[in-house]
Amino acid sequence: MMRISSRVLLVLPWTLAGAMQALAAEHGGSEAAHGSDAAAWTTLGFSFVNFSIFLILAYRYGWPALKDFLATRRRDVVDAMAAAEAARREADAIRAEFAVKEAALEETRRHLLEEIRRGAVADRDKALREAEASAERLRKEAERQAEHDLARARRELRAEAARLAAELAEKDIRSRMTDADRERLVREFVEGVTRQ
C-alpha cells in the first residue's frame, strides 16, 4: 500500500478549495446573477475541505487503531479456528478410541458369554458324573444289601426248614416207635455210656 505523506494530505484540501473558488469566480460574470451559484460552490468547497480533514484525521488517528483491531481480530479468528480444528481432531480421536473400545467390549462380551457357556457345560458334566457315580455307589450298596438280606433269609429258611424237618422226623419217629424200640434204645445208650 502506498504511504501518503501527511503534508500532502493537509495541502490537498486547501488546494482543492482554492481551485473551487477560482472556478466559481470564473463562472461568476456578475455577482448578483451568479451569487447563488457561487454560494453553492463555496458550500461545496467547504464541505469538501471538511470531508478531507475528516479523512486525514481518520487516516492519521483512526486507521492505526482500526488496523490493529482488524489484525487482532484476524489473529483471534485464526486462533479460534485453530483451536476448533484441534478440538475437532481431539473429538475424532476420542470417537475413534471409543469405537475401538466398543468393538473390544463386544469381543469381550462374546468371550465372557463363551466362557460362561463352557463353565456351565463343565459344571453340568461334572454334576452328571457325580450323579452317575453316586447312583453307581447306591446301586452297589443296594446289591450288597440285597445279597446280605438274601443270604440271611436263606440261613433263616434253612434253619426253619431244619427245625421243621426235625419236628417232622420226631413226630414220625414217635408215631412209629413202639415200647420195645424205646427199651432197646435206652439199653444201647446205657451200654455205650458204660463202655466209656
Span 21-69, pLDDT tens digits: 666 566 554 454 455 677 787 888 788 888 888 888 888 888 888 899 9
DSSP-derived secondary structure for 38-103: HHHHHHHHHHHHHHHHHHHHIIIIIHHHHHHHHHHHHHHHHHHHHHHHHHHHHHHHHHHHHHHHHH
Cell of 55: 479523512
Question: Which residue type sits at 14?
Answer: W
Grid coordinates given for 96: 475413534
pLDDT of 186: 84
Instruction: Give pLDDT tens digits for 27-38.
Output: 554 454 455 677
Residue 33: per-residue pLDDT: 46
* Mean per-residue pLDDT over the chain, rounded: 82
Could you tell me the residue ranges of all domains in the chain?
6-98
pTM: 0.35
- Confidence grade of residue 77 (pLDDT, cut at 50, 70, 90): very high
pLDDT of amino acid 1: 42
Provide the pLDDT confidence category of residue 6 given band limits of 50, 70 and 90: low
- Residues 159-188 have pLDDT tens digits of 888 888 888 888 888 788 788 877 888 888
DSSP labels, 109-125 = HHHHHHHHHHHHHHHHH
Say whether pLDDT at 82 is over 90.
yes
Query: What digits encode the pLDDT tens for the residues 83-139?
Result: 999 999 999 999 999 888 888 888 888 899 999 999 999 999 998 999 899 989 999
Task: Spell out the residues 6+ positions from residue 37 whose beta carbon is closer than 8 angstroms to its own.
Answer: 24, 27, 28
Answer yes or no: are the C-beta atoms of 28 and 37 closer than 8 Å: yes
Give the model's pLDDT for residue 21.
63
